Structure 1
Amino acid sequence: MNISGRWRVLCASHWSLANANVVCRQLGCGVAISTPRGPHLVEGNDQISTARFHCSGAEAFLWSCPVTVLGGPDCSHGNTASVICSGNQTQVLPQCNDSVSEPVGSAASEESAPYCSGEGPTGQKTLFITPSMGRQLRLVDGGGPCAGRVEIMDQDSWGTICDDSWDLDDARVVCRQLGCGEALNATRSAHFGAGSGPIWLDDLNCAGNESHVWNCPSQGWGKHDCRHKQDAGVICSEFLALRMVSEDQQCAGWLEVFYNGTWGSVCRSPMEDITVSMICRQLGCGNSGSLNSSVALREGSRPQWVDGIQCQKTDTSLWQCPSDPWNYTSCSPKEEVYISCAGDLLFLCLSQLCRMSLV
C-alpha cells in the first residue's frame, strides 16, 4: 500500500480473508482464494506497515476498512501479508455448495476460502467461486470493529445469528474472519442490542477452525426458531477502549486502555503534546492537555499495556497512532501516564462500553 508517498508491505498479523477479498476486488482480480502464510520475498529496504485491517468484506477499497495501528507487532520480513486471487474465473455452478475443500497441494498453513472446482467446457479443471463468496460479516454496536452484534449480509440484506448453542468456538471463527484476534467472550441475549432483518443462522456448532462462520454446521441457512432478543455477539481480543481513572475528576486521571479483555495503564515515554491532545479529544475532554508527573505512585497491580505512542497530525484516533508492540509489562508502574485535559468531559459513560465492562 502507498502510504505518505511510499510503498509499504503489509504485516500478516490478523490478516484475514475478508481483507484479502477487498484487495482482490479493488484490483479487479476476482475474489480471494487463500492467504498463504510463511516467509515471502521482500526487498531489504522495503518498509513494513504494522496496521491491522478489520474489513467486513463489503468495502470498495482496503483503506476504507477500520484500521488499528496502536500496539502493532514488530513484523519481520518473513511475516508479510499475501493473497491469491481467483482472477477472472468467477463463474458459479448451481451444484456448488458452501462446503470448504482444500486446493490440491495446499499447505496446512494456508487459510482457504470456500470454493469448488469442476470440469470446464474443454475438459480442463476450472475454478468456480461459490455463491457464499457474496456474503459479508461485521460486528455492530460494540464501540469498534472488534466487538458487537454479529451480522451477516446475504442477498443484499444484513441479518443476525441466533444465540442457541452460541459459544466460544463460534466466536473464534468470527474474530479470526474479521482479523480481530482471539475470542474473549461469546455474548448472548442481544447483549449489544437487538438487530433487525433476517436471522440467517441458528444452532451454530463451529469446531473453531472454519474459515467462514457460515461454513459451520447449523439448522440450515435462514432456518431458525428465534427472535432478535436472542441475537449473538462477540468481544474479540483486538477490541480497544480508552478511559481515565480518577477519584474526583472527570477530565484528569490515569490513562487506561482496554486490550485483550483487561484494563491496563499506558506508559508516558515519549508522549508528546500531539498525542496528549489526541487522547483528550477522543475522550471528549477538549483539544489539549498536559502530563502530570507530580502525582503519587498508584497502588495496585495491572498491566502496563503500551509504550512509545507517537501520534501524527494525520491520525484521527489513538488507535491509528504508531507505538511499541503490546506488552504486559511495557514499563514500570512509576512510568504510568497521568493526563490532565483542558476541557470538560462530554460523556461520562458510553452505553456500549458500560455493557462491555460488565461482561
Structure 2
Amino acid sequence: MHRNPPECLFPCVFTDSGISEVAQLRLVNGSSRCAGRVEVLHNKKWGTVCDDGWDLQDAGVVCRQLGCGMALSAPRGARFGQGSDHIWLNNVNCTGTEAALSNCRARPVGDNNCTHGEDAGVECSGTSLRLRLMNGPSRCAGRVEVLHNQQWGTVCDDNWDITHAGVVCRQLGCGTALSAPGRARFGRGSDRIWLDDIHCTGTEAALSDCRTQPWGDNNCNHGEDASVVCSESGISEMTPLQLVNGSHRCAGRVEVFHNQQWGTVCDDSWDLQDAGVVCRQLSCGTALSAPTRAHFGQGSDHIWLNNVNCAGTEVALSDCRAQPWGENNCTHGEDASVECSGNLHPSRHCGPCAGRVEVLHNRQWGTVCDDSWDITHAGVVCRQLGCGTALSAPGRAQFGPGSDHIWLDDVHCTGTEVALSDCRARPWGENNCNHGEDAGVVCSGNLHPSCHCGWCRDRAGKLLAETQLS
C-alpha cells in the first residue's frame, strides 16, 4: 500500500508507475472555464476553498494548473456565487511555484471555520479576459476594449505604444501592429476605463499578461482611449496620410484622413522631428525640411491636427501627441509641409538602374561627390531604388558631369542603411568638389544594352556574367 508523500494535501492517486497525479480542480459559475469559484475534488465530492489568506499568488497556481495563463485577480467573498457542499481547503499558502494547488500549504482537508460566503474565486488571463477592437473598419483595427467584471471598458493611452499594440494584434490573431494610436483615434468609449499605465515587453501572449495598474485605477478620461491598427485590418497605411502639391510623392503639404475626410496639419510647433515621422510612415527616407506657412499651398477642408509633438520614434504621425482631432486656432495659411529624401535617382544614361547619382534637396536636384565613394555606398543606392545589387561604383563623372548643386560629399555608409540619406556625410551642399568628381552606380537590375558609357557597359556586362555564373 502506498503512503501519501508529505507534499500532498489530498489522498494522492497513483498510476502503475507509482507517480502521483494532482487533485482535480475546476472553476465554477464564471464567464469561461478560466474564471469562477474555485472547487477541488476530494473523496469523490467537489468542494470549495475558503478565502482566508487567499491572494494572487494562490490564484496564479490555479491558473497555471488549469492551463489558463496568468492570474488577473483573486476575488474573495463568494464573488462567483456560494457553493453548497463541503469547504475542503482553508488558509491556503502557495509560494507561487507549485504545479498544482494540492502542493500548497494549507490546513488539513476539511478543517476550517468558514462559510460559503467566503468562497474563493479566480480570474485567469487564458480566456477569461476578452478583448475587442471597436469602431474601426474591421475587427483588426479600432479602440481597444477589455471585459472585466462582466463589463466592457477601455484602455488609457498613457505609455501606450507599438509594443503594446503588437501584443493585442497577436492575441486577436490579427498579424503585426502597424500603429498604436492614442487620443481616442477611433472615438471615445462610454463605460469604464479598465487599464492604465500598461507595460508590455512584447513577448506576452495576452494584454492581461502585461504589468499594469489595478483594474479601474487610472487618472484618464475617454479622450485618452488607446487604439490599435493591425496588419490584417485591411488598412494599407497606419493612418491614411499624403503629401499634396509637391513635385513628387515625397514632398508637399501634409494631409491626414479622419472621419472619411482629408484635412491638413497646423504648423504650430511643427519641426523636423515631426516631419521625420511623416517621411518614415510614407517610406520616403528621412526628413530634409519641415516647411511651415503653407509652403506648398493652402488646403481647403478641415484642419485636423494642431500642436503635433512627436518624439521621433513613432511609426505613424497619428501616434504622436497632439490636440484632439479638429481642435485648433489655425488658418490654412499655417498648413504644415514636409520634404523627404525619398526621391533619389540615377540619371538615365544606361537605363533606370545605372547612371550618375542625383539627390533632391530644397526642391533642387544635385549630385554626389565621389570622395570615398565605393561599392558599399552604391549598394545602398541600388537597394533604395529597387535595382538589385551594386555591380560597380564609378567615380570621375563616368556618366557625365552634372550642372547643378553638388549636394553630398564624404558619404560614409555601413551598407545596412535603407536610404543614402541615412548614411553619414558632410552637411547638405558642403563640399570641396567639382562636377568632374560626380559619383555613379551600376546596379544589377534592368541595365540597358545601349549604355552610353562604354567602360561602364563592358564592366557591367562582365560583372553580370560573373554574377550569373557564381
TM-score (ref. length: structure 2):
0.33
TM-score (ref. length: structure 1):
0.42
